[in-house]
Amino acid sequence: SDGLTVLGLETSCDETAASVVRLSAAGAEVLSSVIHSQIDEHAAFGGVVPEIAARSHVEMIDGVARRAMAEAGIDYAALDGVAATAGPGLVGGVMVGLSYGKAVALARGLPLIAVNHLEGHAVSARLGAETRYPFLLLLVSGGHCQLLEVRGIGDMSRLGTTIDDAAGEAFDKIAKAMGLGYPGGPALERLAAQSRENGGDGSRFELPRALLGRKDCDFSFSGLKTAASRLAQTCESEQDRADLADAVQKAIARQLSERTERAMLAYAEQHEALHFVVAGGVAANKTIRRTLEDLATKHGFGFLAPPMVYCTDNAAMIALAGAERLEKGLTSDIDVAARPRWPL
């Protein structure tokens, strides 16, 4: 048949996910995308517990993968390859999806494609709309905060990264200090919206701005985290807390926007076609999306963000990255190892 059809598997954090994607001249088509979230299993602990995550992946992976195949309505014989996240992430979980992928590849005689989770996020905008290479990418998730020049699959260079916490990690830790549930990003976004609905204003809270003396594209959120956690102790009313959430969200949006602006100026000196993509779980935040979209418009960049469902962890992005790799002949040996750390 036309194009390449790939089964993707994702188990690097707290989502067990499987998806079938077909990549053809017409673009990427998601035939199925099944996500089993473990959030309920980890919520009581205020964060992801690696041991619980790995066990849950073991229990779920077979059912999730079979459902993805059934919903796609195709037989294993119609697959051209199997892609699995091989890192970075919680290695116990990564091994579950990768081992399962190896088993399917061996049993069905299919090529295996080990995918870097970050590369999955990097191509995720291509699931929603045609996105041509090259583009400038802001990847903002729970584990990562990077600006990248993406020239193609397996061909990216980093313009900036965080020197401490990732943006999503900052959301999660500050939310935890404010007594909000896990995951913290969506909870903090809802609380911030409450502030605006009640005519509140976060600007009465003074939060530090990071790395003011530097001219590069690096990020830092640890000072903000410390200051916001301290201010959380001083909040007396629900309105105080909502206003603080608003201030935190604005501070994170501002830092992301300032560093992205620097990267845009540098990128524009070297490229004719200007496209900007924001991806990763934090790209689900509406205030941050809007801020970045305005910035892109100001600097003449086309703006693209994946559909909300493909911002947070999913397997469709892994299947697509796998298909793009397969197209280039970039397959993996069957003994490829899971990698807890794997910089792009």
For residue 313, state whether it binds Zn ion (rule: CB under 5 A). yes
Residue entry with tokens 């201010």:
231
Q: Which one, 5 or 161, has the nearer CB to Zn ion?
A: 161
Query: Least distance to ligand KG4 from the beta carbon of 216, Å?
Result: 23
**Secondary structure of residue 84 in the 3-state scheme:** strand
For residue 218, state whether it binds ligand KG4 (rule: CB under 6 A). no
Partner whose footprint covers residue 312, from ligand KG4, Zn ion, none (CB < 5 to 8 Å by kind): ligand KG4
For residue 87, state whether it binds ligand KG4 (rule: CB under 6 A). no
For residue 80, state whether it binds ligand KG4 (rule: CB under 6 A). no
Query: Least distance to ligand KG4 from the beta carbon of 147, Å?
Result: 16
Contact 118, 154 (CB under 8 A): no
Q: Is 29 known to sit in a ligand binding site?
A: no
CA-based nearest residue to 321, from 82, 26, 66: 82
Q: How far apart are CA 179 and CA 175, in angstroms?
A: 6
Q: How far apart are CA 314 and CA 182, in angstroms?
A: 18
φ and ψ at residue 231, rounded to 5 degrees: -65, -30
Partner whose footprint covers residue 122, from ligand KG4, Zn ion, none (CB < 5 to 8 Å by kind): none
Contact 249, 192 (CB under 8 A): yes
For residue 141, state whether it binds ligand KG4 (rule: CB under 6 A). yes
Contact 278, 140 (CB under 8 A): yes
CA-based nearest residue to 245, from 260, 268, 272, 224: 224
For residue 138, state whether it binds ligand KG4 (rule: CB under 6 A). no
Query: Least distance to ligand KG4 from the beta carbon of 275, Å?
Result: 21
Residue entry with tokens 């790209």:
283
Q: Is 128 known to sit in a ligand binding site?
A: no
Q: Which one, 185 or 202, has the nearer CB to ligand KG4?
A: 185
Query: Least distance to ligand KG4 from the beta carbon of 251, Å?
Result: 13
Joined together, the tokens standing for residue 191 give 């609380």
Binding mask 122-161 for Zn ion (x = CB under 5 A): -------------------x--------------------
Among 4, 7, 9, 13, binds ligand KG4 (CB under 6 A): 13
Contact 32, 74 (CB under 8 A): no
For residue 189, state whether it binds ligand KG4 (rule: CB under 6 A). yes
Q: Which distant-in-sequence residues (6+ apart) come within 8 Å of 15 by Cβ?
A: 35, 36, 37, 38, 312, 313, 314
Among 171, 205, 221, 267, binds ligand KG4 (CB under 6 A): 171
Q: How far apart are CA 285 and CA 140, in angstroms?
A: 10
Length of the chain: 344
Residues found near ligand KG4 in the complex (CB under 6 A): 13, 141-143, 168, 171-172, 183-186, 189, 280-282, 284-285, 312-313
Give the footprint of Zn ion on this chain (CB under 5 A).
141, 313
Q: Per the annotation, where are the binding residues for Fe cation? A: 117, 121, 313
